[in-house]
A and B are shown apart, each in its own frame.
Chain A
Amino acid sequence: MVVCHALTGDAHAAGHHGDEGRRGWWDNIIGPGRPLDTDRFYVVCANLLGGCQGSTGPSSTDPATGRPYGLSFPLLSVADFVATHRRLVRHLGIERLHAVVGGSLGGMQALSWALTAPDEVETAVVVAASSRLSAQNIAFSAVAREAIMRDPDFADGTYLETGRSPDTGLAVARMMAHITYLSEAAMTAKFGRRFQGSDTPRFGFGVDFQVESYLRHQGESFLSRFDALSYLYLSRALDYYDPFGEPDAHARLARMAAAGTRALVLSFDSDWRFDTSHSLRIARRLEHAGVPVTFREVASDFGHDSFLLPVPEYHAIVAAFLGAPALAGGQGR
């Protein structure tokens, strides 16, 4: 099975490379006896095209000029992510996948993979994803990109040649995006209105509340692992994603139904980044096309980030779905 990572994820999905404390971003769901059971399945996870963890992206050197691509790198789509990873899978000698699994952007890639090459995919697991961003979703993305592009150090995307980098913009983008990954209940539980390192307010414009300190830390630590140009390119791919709006969507859905590819679509009740209406839309489109689809909104307090966490009901459903026998009479219609 292939695991598709989310916007700021990478190929290090599970296990560790010597340091036990630095485990992969989805270590709680991948491993022996876990829902993505490595005793039963060979699990592959690769970096996205356009990312900054090893695959080619806008910060790579353009062989034609000897300089970084910057904004001359072509815009990317989820279809490009699928195309590159399909070639990787073929390169590995795999003809058919038991599952393509992903959350958020990874779920979008899983859905597109199943729509593009249903004969290669037995099951698609689409968690906390969307088939079409709402105006509010795009608005958040827009502010994040503005923060990066209006940072003077962004220098129209040529910052790699100036020796400076748009750290302020990228950190602000990350801080704002991070708010959308958490629920209000989760933030209240984690921080409340507590003050950082004090029982009383300091009354000023510095970091005073714990939540401010946390967000600042999220922004700062992001700088060491992510590149501003990759953030622009990958987040833009989400904005334009609309697989059911493509001219050949009906034909693709019909092929997916004919191939018998099964889908699991899950949402979380506290996720307001991609709320349940997004997952329900995916489930409805698949069901209307005759694709066997299993759907549930899972109760979880942790907002969009729930897909990364070991929420018991969520993991039980994924394990059951991936481990279920193929029913004799078939399923769906």
Chain B
Amino acid sequence: MRPDLEIVADLVPAGSRVLDLGCGPGDLLEALARRGCRGTGVEIDPDAFLATVCRGVAVLSLDLDTDLDAFAADSYDVVVLSQTLQTTRRPRTVLQQMGRIAPRAVMSVPNFAYWRHRSELVLSGRMPVSAELPYPWYQTPNIHLSTLPDTQALVEEVGLAVERRLLLDERHQPLRGRLAPNLRAARAVYVLGRRA
């Protein structure tokens, strides 16, 4: 399983009903099933979809931007969105829908303000290509990049609150120290709740 998914898995309470948006080949859901979770995936890629079906996991090919009405309000305990928000056309709508479907969300997003991205942009004057964002600008699925404060602002705008934030380096290890997170974090994993 991808190292960032291990971190996500640890943030999902055992026995939860989990909806994994952009579930890939279903490895997170399969791992969570072993912890007594009941899960559904959403995946549009044909190979990843088929791999999820093979695992015996329920999975729907839906457009995150337009089809999340397929899920009823409060029908899950946790919605997971890992490395996917930045690929959606309407991130605001997706976040709103996540807040509707479950009281809690676990979301991981790359940080565009990470120092490597900044230095590449500043020094070479070109769009950054990195381990986090490995595609050239003209064929990247990452069309809505944000920084840590940008993500935080959108979360709050749609009526959600950051309950917990894990800052990770390029090797998916937790950052040490609290200094300059928006410069040092390659990505962040958020646990979101509804604002009281």
Contact = CB atoms under 8 A, between A and B. Distances in A.
A192 to B, nearest CB: 30
Contact of A329 (B32, B50, B62): B32
Nearest to B72: A288
A332 B56 contact: no
Contacts of B75: 287-288, 290, 333
Given A313-B46, A332-B40, A327 B54 contact: no
Q: Which applies to chain B's interface (DSSP): helix, strand, loop or mixed?
A: mixed
B165 interface: no
A327 B40 contact: no
A317 B70 CA distance: 21
Contacts of B39: 329, 331, 333
A68 interface: no
Which bracket fits the contact residues of A? Answer: 20 to 34
Nearest to A287: B70
A313 B33 CA distance: 26
B57 interface: yes
A328 B14 CA distance: 14
Which has the most chain A C-beta neighbours within 10 Å: B36, B50, B76? B50
Interface in B18-74: 19, 29-30, 32-40, 46, 49-50, 53-62, 67, 69-72
B17 interface: yes
Contacts of B76: 333
Interface string A305-318: 00000000100110
Interface in A245-280: 262, 280
Nearest to B35: A329
Nearest to A285: B70
Contact of B71 (A287, A313, A328): A287
**Size band of the B side of the interface?**
20 to 34
Interface in B76-127: 76
The A interface, classified by DSSP as helix, strand, loop or mixed, is mixed
Contacts of B62: 295
Interface string A133-156: 000000000000000000000000
Nearest to A316: B50
B60 A321 contact: no
B11 to A, nearest CB: 17
Contacts of B50: 313, 316-317, 320
A320 B54 contact: yes
B32 to A, nearest CB: 7
Closest 6 A/B residue pairs (Cβ): A329-B33, A333-B17, A324-B56, A292-B58, A296-B61, A327-B56
Interface of B: 17, 19, 29-30, 32-40, 46, 49-50, 53-62, 67, 69-72, 75-76
21 contacts: A283-B60, A288-B70, A288-B71, A288-B72, A288-B75, A292-B40, A294-B60, A313-B46, A313-B50, A317-B53, A321-B53, A327-B30, A327-B33, A329-B38, A329-B39, A330-B38, A331-B38, A331-B39, A331-B56, A331-B58, A333-B38
Interface of A: 262, 280, 283-284, 287-288, 290, 292-297, 313, 316-317, 320-321, 323-333
